[in-house]
Amino acid sequence: MTNSVAQAGEELAGFIVRYPKLWILTGAGVSTDSGIPDYRDADGQWKRSPPVQHGDFMASHAVRQRYWARALVGFKALSGAQVSGAHKALAALEAMGYVELLVTQNVDRLHQRAGSKKVIDLHGRADTVSCMTCGYHMMRHAMHSEMAHLNPRFAALDAGHAPDGDADLETDFSDFTVFDCPRCGGILKPDVVYYGDVVPPARRLAAQAGLQNAQAVLAVGTSLMVYSGYRFCREAHGMGLPVVSLSLGVTRADAMLSHQWRAPLTPVLEEAVRCLEAR
């Protein structure tokens, strides 16, 4: 159902008071106000081509050329993004003692920059890269500097921003020089869980442990179409915990939601914080 901001914020505040140990799952919708595009529309359908598959990235040099050429243009939006009101409101909820754990499907680290401390980056982080052969680790901006030096023509291009540091760029990528591991020459990959890959077991178990101590689940800005996030809502529902959602559209978990607020994220979260502060 669609709610007014005031009504949704007040209802959300009331829910938080009833269940003050929240396990929060966030998705791309939390970062759209930071200028980072999301993948899906209000019906949960792809807005653009699905992101790169792990197997394709690892198996094909041409795929890596296309990926890194587009990233050289598009990553500026991700690295330069500022925290949104939604990030700040969720950090405020943690400071007020209402957050047992925040699990994010985003890779932008904006929750941490907003002040949230109880955070698990379920799908990793986009600001670092690692060698898939020897484990060499480096910051993403350093790798991009190397690639810009190797590919001045691509570094000078501009294109529309796409999710997770990608760009809507289509051209001939065959002469793009990929920067490989400086230690062993292996494939460098962002420390992100790509489609077709799996969340590291330790990360998944840490998220599940937090769920055991929570009183309710709040999904924010996510369609829950990706199983790695949806699974936790399903587990919580099986445990008898209330599961609620704040988003602009449908979710994969609609049938198991105790309540759903379809309203703009940032103003609703800010209104909920105001209501809680006034109690």
Tens digits of residue pLDDT in 44-88: 565 456 678 999 999 999 999 999 999 998 888 777 889 999 999
pLDDT of residue 76: 81
Domain that holds residue 101: 5-278
pLDDT of residue 163: 61
Query: What pTM, to 2 d.p., does this model score?
Result: 0.93
The rounded distance, in Å, linking the Cα atoms of 36 and 30 is 9
Tokens for 84, please give them: 């949104």
The rounded distance, in Å, linking the Cα atoms of 121 and 52 is 19
The rounded distance, in Å, linking the Cα atoms of 211 and 203 is 13
Number of domains in the chain: 1
The rounded distance, in Å, linking the Cα atoms of 175 and 182 is 20
pLDDT of residue 160: 73
Annotated binding site: 131, 134, 181, 184
The rounded distance, in Å, linking the Cα atoms of 24 and 214 is 10
Neighbours of 219 (CB within 10 A): 30
The phi-psi region of residue 224 (left if phi > 0; otherwise alpha if psi is between -120 and 50; otherwise beta) is: left
The rounded distance, in Å, linking the Cα atoms of 243 and 254 is 10
Annotated binding site for Zn(2+): 131, 134, 181, 184
Kind and range of the H or E element at 229?
helix 227-238
Q: How many C-alpha atoms does 138 have within 13 Å on its Cβ side?
A: 19
Q: Give me the active site residues, please.
A: 123
pLDDT of residue 248: 92
The rounded distance, in Å, linking the Cα atoms of 201 and 117 is 21
Dihedral angle of Cα 125, 130, 135, 137, to the nearest 10 degrees: -90
The rounded distance, in Å, linking the Cα atoms of 215 and 217 is 7
The rounded distance, in Å, linking the Cα atoms of 64 and 32 is 26
The rounded distance, in Å, linking the Cα atoms of 53 and 12 is 37
CATH number reported for the structural domain that contains residue 148 in this entry: 3.40.50.1220
The one-digit pLDDT tens for each residue of the chain (279 residues) are: 556 999 999 999 999 999 999 999 999 999 999 988 766 555 556 545 667 899 999 999 999 999 999 999 888 877 788 999 999 999 999 999 999 999 999 999 999 999 999 999 999 999 999 999 999 999 999 999 999 999 999 999 887 765 666 677 889 999 999 999 999 999 999 999 998 899 999 999 999 999 999 999 999 999 999 999 999 999 999 999 999 999 998 999 999 999 999 999 999 999 999 999 998
Find where tokens 């680790």 sit: 137
Which of 249, 268, 253, 139 has the alpha carbon at shortest distance from 191?
A: 139
Express each pLDDT in 1-24 by its tens digit: 556 999 999 999 999 999 999 999
